[in-house]
Amino acid sequence: MHTQYDHATHTASRILLITRRKRLLISHGVTALLFLAAGAMAGPIVQRKPILPGAIRSLANLEHVRIAVEPLPPEFHSAGMTRTRIRLQLEEAMKDFGLIVVPQEEVQPHDTAPVLTFQASLSNDPSVPEATGIIALLKLEQPVRVMRLKEEMEAPTCLAWALDVRSKETLAEGMRESIDSASNLFLAAVGLNKK
Protein backbone atom coordinates (compact mmCIF):
# COMPACT_ATOMS: atom_id res chain seq x y z
CA MET A 1 0.00 0.00 0.00
CA HIS A 2 2.86 2.31 0.77
CA THR A 3 4.22 1.93 -2.76
CA GLN A 4 0.84 2.73 -4.33
CA TYR A 5 0.66 5.92 -2.30
CA ASP A 6 4.13 6.92 -3.47
CA HIS A 7 3.22 6.21 -7.05
CA ALA A 8 -0.04 8.23 -6.81
CA THR A 9 1.78 11.08 -5.07
CA HIS A 10 4.50 11.03 -7.68
CA THR A 11 1.92 11.09 -10.53
CA ALA A 12 -0.02 13.95 -8.91
CA SER A 13 3.12 16.01 -8.35
CA ARG A 14 4.20 15.35 -11.92
CA ILE A 15 0.80 16.54 -13.26
CA LEU A 16 1.10 19.61 -11.04
CA LEU A 17 4.60 20.31 -12.41
CA ILE A 18 3.41 19.97 -16.04
CA THR A 19 0.47 22.28 -15.33
CA ARG A 20 2.81 24.87 -13.79
CA ARG A 21 5.11 24.66 -16.83
CA LYS A 22 2.16 25.19 -19.18
CA ARG A 23 1.04 28.22 -17.17
CA LEU A 24 4.57 29.59 -17.20
CA LEU A 25 4.87 29.08 -20.95
CA ILE A 26 1.49 30.68 -21.56
CA SER A 27 2.42 33.57 -19.29
CA HIS A 28 5.72 34.13 -21.12
CA GLY A 29 3.96 33.84 -24.49
CA VAL A 30 1.36 36.45 -23.56
CA THR A 31 4.09 38.77 -22.25
CA ALA A 32 6.07 38.41 -25.49
CA LEU A 33 2.96 39.18 -27.56
CA LEU A 34 2.27 42.26 -25.45
CA PHE A 35 5.84 43.50 -26.02
CA LEU A 36 5.53 42.90 -29.77
CA ALA A 37 2.19 44.69 -29.92
CA ALA A 38 3.55 47.63 -27.91
CA GLY A 39 6.56 47.82 -30.26
CA ALA A 40 4.30 47.83 -33.30
CA MET A 41 2.14 50.59 -31.82
CA ALA A 42 5.21 52.61 -30.82
CA GLY A 43 6.16 53.14 -34.47
CA PRO A 44 5.89 56.54 -36.11
CA ILE A 45 2.38 57.96 -36.08
CA VAL A 46 2.89 60.01 -39.24
CA GLN A 47 3.09 57.77 -42.30
CA ARG A 48 5.85 58.32 -44.78
CA LYS A 49 4.82 59.74 -48.13
CA PRO A 50 4.62 56.81 -50.55
CA ILE A 51 7.02 56.86 -53.47
CA LEU A 52 5.00 56.36 -56.62
CA PRO A 53 6.39 54.48 -59.62
CA GLY A 54 8.15 56.61 -62.23
CA ALA A 55 5.43 56.02 -64.84
CA ILE A 56 2.85 57.60 -62.51
CA ARG A 57 5.14 60.40 -61.29
CA SER A 58 5.89 61.33 -64.92
CA LEU A 59 2.19 62.24 -65.30
CA ALA A 60 2.18 64.78 -62.45
CA ASN A 61 1.00 68.26 -63.45
CA LEU A 62 0.17 67.12 -66.98
CA GLU A 63 -1.91 69.94 -68.44
CA HIS A 64 -1.70 69.64 -72.22
CA VAL A 65 -0.98 67.01 -74.88
CA ARG A 66 -0.69 66.64 -78.61
CA ILE A 67 -2.67 63.77 -80.12
CA ALA A 68 -1.40 61.50 -82.87
CA VAL A 69 -3.22 58.57 -84.48
CA GLU A 70 -1.09 55.97 -86.22
CA PRO A 71 -2.28 54.26 -89.42
CA LEU A 72 -5.22 51.95 -88.76
CA PRO A 73 -6.06 48.41 -89.88
CA PRO A 74 -8.37 48.35 -92.95
CA GLU A 75 -11.23 46.94 -90.85
CA PHE A 76 -11.33 50.21 -88.88
CA HIS A 77 -11.94 52.15 -92.11
CA SER A 78 -14.62 49.67 -93.17
CA ALA A 79 -16.36 50.26 -89.83
CA GLY A 80 -16.22 54.04 -90.35
CA MET A 81 -13.45 54.59 -87.79
CA THR A 82 -11.05 56.95 -89.56
CA ARG A 83 -7.97 58.55 -88.05
CA THR A 84 -9.80 61.90 -87.96
CA ARG A 85 -12.80 60.41 -86.16
CA ILE A 86 -10.59 58.69 -83.58
CA ARG A 87 -8.61 61.90 -83.08
CA LEU A 88 -11.86 63.80 -82.41
CA GLN A 89 -13.03 61.11 -79.98
CA LEU A 90 -9.75 61.31 -78.07
CA GLU A 91 -9.76 65.13 -78.06
CA GLU A 92 -13.28 65.14 -76.63
CA ALA A 93 -12.32 62.65 -73.89
CA MET A 94 -9.24 64.68 -72.92
CA LYS A 95 -11.16 67.98 -72.87
CA ASP A 96 -13.96 66.43 -70.76
CA PHE A 97 -11.33 65.89 -68.05
CA GLY A 98 -9.77 69.35 -68.39
CA LEU A 99 -6.69 68.33 -70.36
CA ILE A 100 -5.75 70.89 -73.01
CA VAL A 101 -5.25 69.41 -76.47
CA VAL A 102 -2.78 71.32 -78.65
CA PRO A 103 -4.38 71.56 -82.12
CA GLN A 104 -2.39 69.79 -84.84
CA GLU A 105 -2.00 73.00 -86.86
CA GLU A 106 -0.45 74.82 -83.87
CA VAL A 107 2.27 72.25 -83.20
CA GLN A 108 5.72 73.79 -83.52
CA PRO A 109 8.83 71.83 -84.61
CA HIS A 110 10.36 71.90 -81.11
CA ASP A 111 7.12 71.73 -79.12
CA THR A 112 7.66 69.98 -75.79
CA ALA A 113 4.00 69.11 -75.19
CA PRO A 114 3.78 65.36 -74.55
CA VAL A 115 2.40 63.32 -77.46
CA LEU A 116 -0.49 60.94 -76.80
CA THR A 117 -0.33 58.39 -79.61
CA PHE A 118 -3.17 56.00 -80.45
CA GLN A 119 -2.40 52.60 -81.99
CA ALA A 120 -4.88 49.87 -82.87
CA SER A 121 -4.71 46.31 -84.06
CA LEU A 122 -7.17 43.53 -84.70
CA SER A 123 -6.67 39.83 -84.22
CA ASN A 124 -8.61 36.88 -85.66
CA ASP A 125 -8.49 33.25 -84.64
CA PRO A 126 -9.28 30.86 -87.52
CA SER A 127 -10.98 28.48 -85.08
CA VAL A 128 -13.47 31.27 -84.13
CA PRO A 129 -14.03 33.10 -87.44
CA GLU A 130 -17.03 35.09 -86.20
CA ALA A 131 -15.00 36.85 -83.44
CA THR A 132 -12.43 39.63 -83.76
CA GLY A 133 -10.06 40.78 -81.01
CA ILE A 134 -9.57 44.54 -80.69
CA ILE A 135 -6.49 46.09 -79.08
CA ALA A 136 -6.57 49.86 -78.45
CA LEU A 137 -3.33 51.36 -77.10
CA LEU A 138 -2.56 54.87 -75.89
CA LYS A 139 1.09 55.75 -75.41
CA LEU A 140 2.27 59.03 -73.86
CA GLU A 141 5.69 60.11 -75.06
CA GLN A 142 7.44 63.08 -73.53
CA PRO A 143 10.93 64.53 -73.20
CA VAL A 144 12.95 62.71 -70.54
CA ARG A 145 16.57 62.84 -69.42
CA VAL A 146 18.49 59.57 -69.36
CA MET A 147 21.12 60.09 -66.66
CA ARG A 148 23.33 57.25 -67.88
CA LEU A 149 23.63 58.90 -71.31
CA LYS A 150 23.39 62.49 -70.00
CA GLU A 151 20.97 63.07 -72.85
CA GLU A 152 17.39 64.23 -73.32
CA MET A 153 15.08 62.31 -75.63
CA GLU A 154 11.41 61.53 -76.32
CA ALA A 155 10.39 58.30 -74.62
CA PRO A 156 7.11 56.57 -73.70
CA THR A 157 6.36 57.13 -70.02
CA CYS A 158 2.83 55.74 -69.79
CA LEU A 159 0.82 53.06 -71.62
CA ALA A 160 -2.91 52.41 -71.35
CA TRP A 161 -4.65 49.73 -73.37
CA ALA A 162 -7.98 48.03 -73.73
CA LEU A 163 -8.81 44.61 -75.12
CA ASP A 164 -12.16 43.50 -76.44
CA VAL A 165 -13.62 40.64 -78.50
CA ARG A 166 -16.52 41.39 -80.82
CA SER A 167 -18.56 39.85 -83.60
CA LYS A 168 -18.38 41.41 -87.04
CA GLU A 169 -21.79 43.02 -86.45
CA THR A 170 -20.63 44.87 -83.30
CA LEU A 171 -17.05 45.59 -84.40
CA ALA A 172 -17.52 49.38 -84.83
CA GLU A 173 -19.16 49.66 -81.40
CA GLY A 174 -16.33 47.61 -79.89
CA MET A 175 -13.75 49.89 -81.49
CA ARG A 176 -15.38 53.02 -80.02
CA GLU A 177 -15.71 51.39 -76.58
CA SER A 178 -12.08 50.19 -76.65
CA ILE A 179 -10.90 53.73 -77.41
CA ASP A 180 -13.03 55.06 -74.53
CA SER A 181 -11.71 52.38 -72.18
CA ALA A 182 -8.08 53.12 -73.03
CA SER A 183 -8.76 56.88 -72.63
CA ASN A 184 -10.39 56.34 -69.24
CA LEU A 185 -7.45 54.24 -68.03
CA PHE A 186 -4.99 56.91 -69.17
CA LEU A 187 -6.99 59.72 -67.54
CA ALA A 188 -7.30 57.72 -64.30
CA ALA A 189 -3.51 57.31 -64.26
CA VAL A 190 -3.13 61.08 -64.73
CA GLY A 191 -5.53 61.54 -61.81
CA LEU A 192 -7.95 63.91 -63.54
CA ASN A 193 -11.65 64.08 -62.76
CA LYS A 194 -14.37 64.68 -65.31
CA LYS A 195 -15.31 68.39 -65.53
What is the pTM assigned to this prediction? Answer: 0.69
**Domain segments of the chain as ranges:** 1-48, 54-190
Residues of the chain with pLDDT under 50: 1-5, 7-17, 24-25, 30, 33-43
CA–CA dist 57, 190 (Å, integer)? 9
Residue type at 11? T
In CATH terms, the fold of domain 54-190 is Double Stranded RNA Binding Domain (3.30.160)
Question: What is residue 183's predicted lDDT score, i.e. its pLDDT?
Answer: 94
73-88 pLDDT, tens digit per residue, is 998 888 889 999 999 9
Question: What is residue 182's predicted lDDT score, i.e. its pLDDT?
Answer: 94
Question: What is residue 12's predicted lDDT score, i.e. its pLDDT?
Answer: 47
Question: What is residue 17's predicted lDDT score, i.e. its pLDDT?
Answer: 46
Strands 100-101 and 64-69: parallel
C-alpha torsion angle, residues 99, 105, 109, 110 (rounded to 10): -20
CA 82 to each of CA 70, 90, 176: distance values in angstroms, whole numbers, following the listed order: 11, 12, 11
Angle at 187 between CA 122 and CA 117, to 5 degrees: 45
CA atoms within 13 A on the CB side of 166: 19
